[in-house]
Chains A and B, each alone.
Chain A
């Protein structure tokens, strides 16, 4: 069974940092592009960033570039999102998603709340 389980969300003050993790199993993680997507409660889905299967290349949406860093560990089958300089409008549920053409699986999401 394919599983993606995000963790690391919580309450953080504006300007703070948080590291999200996505633990995966049940599929060949090292062969998949991986993505982070977020959703403000009640709003739509927004793509944040992705990383190639070998981790050599990344891409970011403009509004997170320079603040967020995606990385992966293909030995541990883990995906990460390092988030710095967090703002109120980063409050959202954060999802990891695997490569669409190889199954497009989603995690259950982890809530990040940025508030003083």
Chain B
């Protein structure tokens, strides 16, 4: 079973700044099957990035993903007020999917 570690736990930034979130896996994730989800307070999660770097439908281009193997990054360029949320990475390399513990981006 793959274990995902996210850092930092909390990222305190201001609107307009860049956010860089890290997700590290305990073993190699094949075919870059790593996704990022955003969860705003009181809302369901929504998919931002899949396949490590592919934006999901309707996701603004200020969101970008990168990485391979065991190290992955979500970058948010020019934070908007609605981007202050919790971000989870998720691996989907086969069954027994795993989520990271989340990174909270707050003001």
**Measured between C-beta atoms, what is the minimum distance from B25 to chain A in Å?**
15
The answer to whether B35 and A61 have CB atoms under 8 Å apart is no
Q: Does any Cβ of A come within 8 Å of B12's Cβ?
A: no
Q: Mark B19-41, 1 if CB is under 8 A from A, else 0.
A: 00000000000000101010100
- On chain A, the residues within 8 Å of B102 by CB distance are 44-45
Number of interface residues of B (CB under 8 A): 23
The answer to whether B57 and A103 have CB atoms under 8 Å apart is yes
Q: State which of B33, B47, B51, B98 has its C-beta within 8 Å of the C-beta of A47.
A: B98
- On chain A, the residues within 8 Å of B64 by CB distance are none
The answer to whether B50 and A44 have CB atoms under 8 Å apart is no
The answer to whether A104 and B99 have CB atoms under 8 Å apart is no
Q: Mark B37-56, 1 if CB is under 8 A from A, else 0.
A: 10100001111001100001
- On chain B, the residues within 8 Å of A47 by CB distance are 90, 96-99
Give chain B's interface secondary structure class: loop
**Measured between C-beta atoms, what is the minimum distance from B75 to chain A in Å?**
19
Q: What is the CA–CA distance of A59 and B93 in the complex, to the nearest angstrom?
A: 13
- On chain B, the residues within 8 Å of A46 by CB distance are 99
Interface centre among B39, B47, B100 (most CB of A within 10 A): B47
Q: What is the CA–CA distance of A3 and B81 in the complex, to the nearest angstrom?
A: 26
Q: State which of B44, B50, B98 has its C-beta within 8 Å of the C-beta of A100.
A: B50
Q: What is the CA–CA distance of A47 and B98 in the complex, to the nearest angstrom?
A: 6
The answer to whether A104 and B47 have CB atoms under 8 Å apart is yes
